Amino acid sequence: MSTELNLTLQVWRQAAPDAPGSFVTYEAKNIPDDSSFLEMLDIVNEGLIDNDVEPIEFPHDCREGICGTCGVMINGRAHGQERATATCQLHMRKFSDGDTIAIEPWRAAAFPVIKDLIVDRSPMDKIIQAGGYITAPTGTGGDANDTLIPKEVAESAMDAAACIGCGACIAACPNSAGQLFTSAKLWHLNSLPQGQPERFTRTESMVDTMEQFFGACTNHGECAEACPKEISLDFIAYMNGDYIKAKIKNRSRSSQ
């Protein structure tokens, strides 16, 4: 049986990218403790609409921890206080009756606020676009064992592919670095046979694009702590190694 919580919310409100923003206090009353954090915001918004107040704009889509859309800072932490949990997977039973909760958008220079809790994360899309595509002739589906992939390689690629691109790693990093996101997106292709033809051109292009928007990595490790999919810092090391190789190999090719 669920119980109900009465909470105080301090929510960042900003009408437009070029408009000033500030925290606005709202009372969230009779919130079921088995509701998710986003469902709590839905309840608050229903009350605001009933009182002719513009509802809080917040990012969301699948609400299943898959799409990476729902990220916000909750009491100063990306996605809130629970490890390996996206905002949509955070339940109100993790809070106590009478709590005050501060809710704000991702804080990174590359993520300008669009409205309220929604930010522009298009620089992450530009990194993906810089990766291009694979030219391996995949054709129709082959037999399962046509291309043999060692178990540890397959598992490593799957771990990297778990990244949902939410941007929590960037928002949590004091340098707003994009290395964890970029390295995960790189490694799930670079580690597999299908990704080998463009491996080094892909690496150089994606890393160079990343550096146009995001800060430098200084190994704070906050990115991995904030990641709802627990992406490993090891992927940054793999990316750095491939980037050095890419600079050598791509320079050799251009000189031929």
Per residue in 180-208, pLDDT (tens digit) is 999 999 999 999 988 999 999 999 999 99
First to last CA, the chain: 72
How many angstroms separate the Cα of 30 from the Cα of each of 3, 7, 27, 92, 123?
9, 8, 10, 11, 39
Domains contained in the chain, CATH given: 4-115 (3.10.20.30), 121-255 (1.10.1060.10)
Asked if 236 and 255 touch (Cβ cutoff 8 Å), the reply is no
Nearest to 126 by CA among 194, 210, 36, 69: 210
CA distance 144 to 148: 8
CA distance 229 to 181: 11
Q: What is the pLDDT of residues 97-145, one digit of tens each?
A: 999 999 999 999 999 999 999 999 999 999 999 999 888 776 776 676 7
pLDDT of residue 146: 75
- pTM score: 0.92
SS3 of 125, please? helix
pLDDT band at 255 (very low <50, low <70, confident <90, very high): low
- Locate tokens 């513009």: which residue? 54
pLDDT band at 256 (very low <50, low <70, confident <90, very high): low
